Amino acid sequence: MICVLAGGVGAARFLRGLIQVVPPAEVTAVVNVADDMVLSGLHISPDLDTVTYTLAGVNDTERGWGLAGETWHALEALRRFDPDAWFSLGDRDLGTHLYRTGRLAAGATLSEATAGICAGFGLEVSVLPVTDDPLRTRVTLATDDGAAGEEVDFQDYFVRRRHDVAVHSLRFDGADVARPAPGVLAALDAAEVIVVAPSNPLVSIDPVLAVPGVRQALTERRADVVAVSPIVAGRALKGPADRLLRELGHDPSAIGVARHYAEVAATLVIDEADADRAADVEAAGMRCVVAPTVMSTPERAAALAARTIESGRGHQAAGS
Amino acid sequence: MICVLAGGVGAARFLRGLIQVVPPAEVTAVVNVADDMVLSGLHISPDLDTVTYTLAGVNDTERGWGLAGETWHALEALRRFDPDAWFSLGDRDLGTHLYRTGRLAAGATLSEATAGICAGFGLEVSVLPVTDDPLRTRVTLATDDGAAGEEVDFQDYFVRRRHDVAVHSLRFDGADVARPAPGVLAALDAAEVIVVAPSNPLVSIDPVLAVPGVRQALTERRADVVAVSPIVAGRALKGPADRLLRELGHDPSAIGVARHYAEVAATLVIDEADADRAADVEAAGMRCVVAPTVMSTPERAAALAARTIESGRGHQAAGS
């Protein structure tokens, strides 16, 4: 069994590669839900949807999010009344939100709604929200002089402001009382290798680790935990991870990622472009594996997944 | 000023005709909201939407509801997860529901959300929900032996069961504490003629009259109130009005309609097909006007509207 802590696009690509080299039924994805939002009454789970759409092979690879062959009639109609509507809701994507919201309104948990979506797509991978409880990343923007400014919802920061603003700090609202969703701790416990996917460490993985019990589960299994750096040559392949790392006091590099994950993971996979930082990663307390990490094709994603799993197993075999 | 109490399709066609013969800015529609429902988190107002879509000329005339040129991608996507999804949500229609729900979630009233929709369509008619408070028609189904059976939501009865079931009784949940929406009583007070549109008397007009203050306003203006019978030759042109009248103890005819409205309206417009019932309508206590009431073309709708308004004015002039 393999358990993968997952955010959105990077994690989804990794998972898609992983099921080329591991039977899908042996994979559990524990997915961030702190990006979730309720918009116009609909419960939207961006990371869960990115993971399920990608695993189902129905994601739009060019746009990088949402469904392939999507249409935008609902959004166009909405903008007739509200020209400022800023969140892109595709028509087919709305079907997912309608289903999820309807299930939640009828008393189902987010796990149960997610299982229904996975069943609709015929997925064999177990896709679990990290928690069924409310967990929301709140972003305090930085003022011009670096002080704490307005606090906004994550999607307000990420989509509406296109993450093109300085961040002062983050907090995960609800993390203190959130409970791991059914199956999460069991999957971490049963996993031969636990992977921290190449997702944003601060806004995708940290909220997963913030759910009581998850960080501890990883710490206890540290030798079997392999993280994949989402930073290549000092830059995030997608999204604001590099800028956020810098603004929040981390080194925006594979080394910064190593320092951030050293407590929960024994091994870090870094890109070949960062091969010269391997010694620094080891100095930060992590075993370092150098591999091509840019998942520009499904084959490269599968190769990265194979190498990552191998690294976790190799580490165990070496007993280090 | 003309004020029209309105349900869905019949009222919308009448209103469309009315604005051919009266300046739209002089028309107020007071619309039933007891068919409203929250589905998958979205606030749906079927009668308000039928009225605004028809007045905007964007309604689907062939299907009889919803928007012309509609697509169904969201619904198809939803049915991948929930094959039993029974409420038809068109993609463009969803734009309306998203806007309304978003406004309500942000603290706006249903009146304000409706005004935003009307503004988006550039409508000059004032379209008012009869109330901003929750008002819901609840339908008690009849058992095989005519006793009270299960109580269901209106749309469960109307759409899911295609009104193909026997009804024992109706009630309007929330009617005791609902307040008329801003402008409703003023529009009734200021109207030269008040029209009760050819809508279902029991499930479209009765909930409007059930909002405290509305029935009384009509009773006080009775001489100026003209109702248009939705029953032609003993049958509803659309929907279950005839069956409901029968099952709930009324005569399913223009006479039954006359008896039902006699207290609130002085005049009833009945169809030429029912010309031989005119004396019975008068015996029921209403002045009777015979006219072609089947609005099969916009021209016929305009002619009916002209005749209806004329009847109200004529009545006043006659001082009867």
The domain that contains A95 carries what CATH number?
1.10.8.240
| B99 chain-A contacts, CB cut-off 8 A | 40, 78, 81-82
Nearest residue of B to residue A106, measured between CA atoms:
B40
Looking at the fold, whether A204 and A82 belong to one and the same domain comes out as no
Domain annotation covers residue A261: yes
Nearest residue of A to residue B118, measured between CA atoms:
A81
Looking at the fold, whether A206 and A296 belong to one and the same domain comes out as yes
pLDDT in tens, B231-259: 999 999 888 999 999 999 999 999 999 99
Looking at the fold, whether A237 and A268 belong to one and the same domain comes out as yes
- pLDDT for B316 equals 54
Closest CA to B181 of B229, B133, B125, B115: B133
Tally of residues, chain B: 320
Looking at the fold, whether A203 and A313 belong to one and the same domain comes out as yes
pLDDT in tens, A73-126: 999 999 999 999 988 899 999 999 999 999 999 999 999 999 999 999 999 999
- pLDDT for A320 equals 41
A268: pLDDT strictly greater than 60:
yes
pLDDT in tens, B222-238: 999 999 999 999 999 88
Report, as an integer, the average pLDDT of A40-57: 97
Count structural domains, chain A.
3
CB contact under 8 A, B98 and A78: yes
Looking at the fold, whether A140 and A238 belong to one and the same domain comes out as no
CB contact under 8 A, B77 and A71: no
Q: What CA–CA distances, in Å, run from B18 to A124, B24, B58, B124, B218?
A: 59, 8, 17, 13, 20
Looking at the fold, whether A91 and A209 belong to one and the same domain comes out as no
Which residue in B38, B39, B92 is closest to A73 by CB distance?
B92
Domain annotation covers residue B282: yes
Domain around A144: 136-170
Domain annotation covers residue A6: no
Domain annotation covers residue B85: no
Looking at the fold, whether A225 and A141 belong to one and the same domain comes out as no
pLDDT in tens, A146-177: 999 999 999 999 989 999 999 999 999 999 99
pLDDT in tens, A24-48: 999 999 999 999 999 999 999 999 9
Task: Please report the beta strands in B161-315, taking only residues with DSSP state E, as ranges in sequence order.
Answer: 167-173, 193-196, 225-228, 231-232, 235-236, 267-271, 287-291
pTM: 0.93
- Identify the burial level of B121 via C-beta atoms within 10 angstroms of its C-beta, where 0-12 means exposed, 13-18 middle and 19 or more buried: middle
d(CA A307, CA A313): 10
pLDDT level of residue B315 (50, 70, 90 thresholds): low
Domain annotation covers residue B51: no
| B39 chain-A contacts, CB cut-off 8 A | 102
- pLDDT for A62 equals 87
Looking at the fold, whether A286 and A199 belong to one and the same domain comes out as yes
pLDDT in tens, A78-89: 999 999 998 889
The answer to whether B73 and A71 have CB atoms below 8 angstroms apart is yes
Chain A contact probe: residue of B84, B99, B153 with most A CBs at under 10 A: B99
pLDDT in tens, B93-110: 999 999 999 999 999 999
Domain annotation covers residue A29: no
pLDDT in tens, A240-253: 999 999 999 999 99
Across chain A, mean pLDDT equals 95
ipTM of the modeled complex: 0.92
The answer to whether A4 and A195 have CB atoms below 8 angstroms apart is yes
Looking at the fold, whether A279 and A310 belong to one and the same domain comes out as yes
Chain B contact probe: residue of A36, A37, A38, A40 with most B CBs at under 10 A: A40
Domain annotation covers residue B100: no
Domain annotation covers residue A8: no
Under 8 Å CB-to-CB from B242, ≥6 apart: which residues? B231, B234, B235, B236, B252
Looking at the fold, whether A166 and A240 belong to one and the same domain comes out as no
Q: Token pair for residue A277? A: 């930082």
- pLDDT for A315 equals 58
pLDDT in tens, B108-151: 999 999 999 999 999 999 999 999 999 999 999 999 999 999 99
Under 8 Å CB-to-CB from B84, ≥6 apart: which residues? none
| B91 chain-A contacts, CB cut-off 8 A | 71, 73-74, 77, 91, 94
Looking at the fold, whether A125 and A197 belong to one and the same domain comes out as no
Looking at the fold, whether A90 and A41 belong to one and the same domain comes out as yes
- pLDDT for B317 equals 47
How far off is chain A from B140, nearest CA to CA, in Å? 22
Residues of A with CB under 8 A from a CB of B: 38-43, 67, 71, 73-82, 85, 89, 91-99, 101-102, 105, 116-117, 119-121
- pLDDT for B320 equals 41
The domain that contains B229 carries what CATH number?
3.40.50.10680
